[in-house]
Structure 1
Amino acid sequence: MWWVYAILSAFFASLTAIFAKIGITGVSSNLATAIRSIIILLVAWGIVFARSEYKGIPALSRHNLIYIVISGVATGLSWIFYFKALQIGKVTQVAPVDKLSVALTIVLSVIFLGESLTLKTAIGAVLIIIGTVILIFE
């Protein structure tokens, strides 16, 4: 079932690129990111309250909070750089290069999380890296 959510994530990420490119015309990419962040904040908290998941807040450990905050900072920086890239580049270049994150995540998950690296996954990561280099230097 995880793959259904992953496909939905990919679908909405693709819509994000298209709508963002249209929406940032003549607008500061940082302002656009800030507005987008408010919308995401409202949607995420709306879901949390609708499902009564806010009751889990007291169970969060210091460890949970530290890494969730660090993840949030990384996400924010990713969005800022993504919107800036979209503002000055083509969606057909920016979106695929952004997906270099997939290959980087594979490498980092092996290094930091101790996840195993299969030959199939390694080949996929290498192909993503090669494709990214081709897109950057076309």
Structure 2
Amino acid sequence: MSNTNTWWIYALLSACFAALTTIFAKVGVENVNSNLATAIRTVVILVVAWGIVFAQGSMVNLSEIPPKTMFFLLCSGAATGLSWIFYFKALQEGKASLVAPIDKSSLVLVLLFSVLFLHEPLSWKILLGTFLIAIGTLVLIF
């Protein structure tokens, strides 16, 4: 299988690990401040991510990364951090079965933003899928 056909395997693995993340996190935030839980999680992610970079020999001089690329990676990191902080707080206070669908409804925003900012094509399939995701989320939470 060529690299161009394996993206869906990585996406499926991502979904599986995201599901496990929710279950582990829900149990993990029972007796600890949600921000501390996020900080602990972040340390683990840092160690794993940097370990993979060094193990693969992917480390480059950070000054070689174009400024625009670095800016957007930093923005992505800030957005991820804020997402995790709010996600862990929501998990601490709510049911995982309700928090997760709302969190995953971010897909609706991704589809919208990909059209607006990345100029990705909008098709009837995207519109229908986005509508069904939004309706499905509402059905799950109400």
**Bucket of the pairwise TM-score, normalised by the shorter protein:** over 0.9
CA shift, 1:56, in A, is: 5.6
User: Does the residue aligned with 1:113 lie in a helix, a strand or coil?
Assistant: coil
Instruction: State the match for 2:37 in structure 1.
Output: 32
User: Does the residue aligned with 2:26 lie in a helix, a strand or coil?
Assistant: helix
Query: What does 1:107-122 align with in structure 2 at a 5 Å threshold?
Result: 107-122=112-127
Structure 1 residues 48-97: Cα deviation after superposition (integer angstroms, max 9, x where no partner): 00011112634301101100000000000000010011111111111111
Task: Please say if 1:91 is aligned against 2:100.
Answer: no
Structure 1 residues 15-73: Cα deviation after superposition (integer angstroms, max 9, x where no partner): 00000001111111000000000000000000000011112634301101100000000
Q: What RMSD, in angstroms, separates the aligned Cα atoms of the two structures?
A: 1.1
Query: What does 1:58-97 align with in structure 2 at a 5 Å threshold?
Result: 58-97=63-102
Q: Judge which range, 83-92 or 47-56, deviates more.
A: 47-56
Take 1:6 and 1:96, find their aligned partners in 2: how far apart are those partners?
17
User: Does the residue aligned with 2:117 lie in a helix, a strand or coil?
Assistant: helix
User: Does the residue aligned with 1:17 lie in a helix, a strand or coil?
Assistant: helix
Query: What does 1:37-52 align with in structure 2 at a 5 Å threshold?
Result: 37-52=42-57
Q: How many equivalent pairs are there?
A: 137
Given residue 112 of structure 1, which amino acid in structure 2 is its aligned partner?
F
Take 1:119 and 1:87, find their aligned partners in 2: how far apart are those partners?
38
Take 2:63 and 2:57, find their aligned partners in 1: how far apart are those partners?
13
Q: Judge which range, 114-123 or 31-40, deviates more.
A: 114-123
Q: Structure 1 unaligned segments of length 5 or more: list them.
A: none
CA shift, 1:127, in A, is: 1.2
Take 2:125 and 2:64, find their aligned partners in 1: how far apart are those partners?
38
Give 4+ residue runs of structure 1 displaced > 4 Å after superposition: none
Given residue 111 of structure 1, which amino acid in structure 2 is its aligned partner?
L
